[in-house]
């Protein structure tokens, strides 16, 4: 009878320890893993964005910015104009 009582106490102790552990389901584990991957991706994206901002600032300060550049218009020489007129590209309105 003492053995039965001791075994019951041991089983109860094991069960009580298991009750203290947080039991998670596979869905929650998968969600936690996905959240960790998202956090890592966000951290990497922050680093990339910081690098891009730094490069854009360097380009703007270095005069290599794309914004505000105007196209340079080249004037036609009389020979080029004559060639266009003779080919019919100009003047046939």
Q: What is the pLDDT of residue 38?
A: 96
* CA distances, 28 to each of 22, 38, 39, 40, 73 (Å): 12, 15, 16, 18, 63
pLDDT by residue (tens digit) across 22-55? 567 999 999 999 999 999 999 999 999 999 999 9
pLDDT by residue (tens digit) across 57-68? 888 787 765 656
Q: Is the pLDDT of residue 90 over 90?
A: no
- pTM of the entire structure? 0.40
Q: Are 59 and 65 in contact (CB under 8 A)?
A: yes
* CA distances, 20 to each of 12, 47, 57, 86 (Å): 13, 40, 55, 94
Instruction: Choose between 34 and 83: higher pLDDT.
Output: 34
Q: What is the pLDDT of residue 44?
A: 96
């Amino acid at each position: 009878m003492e053995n039965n009582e001791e075994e019951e106490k041991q089983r109860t102790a094991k069960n009580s320890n298991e009750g203290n552990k947080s039991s998670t389901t596979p869905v929650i584990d998968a969600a936690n893993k996905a959240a960790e991957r998202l956090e890592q991706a966000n951290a990497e994206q922050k680093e990339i964005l910081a690098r891009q901002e730094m490069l854009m600032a360097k380009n703007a300060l270095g005069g290599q910015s794309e914004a505000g550049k105007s196209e340079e218009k080249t004037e036609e020489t009389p020979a080029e104009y004559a060639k266009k007129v003779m080919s019919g590209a100009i003047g046939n309105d």
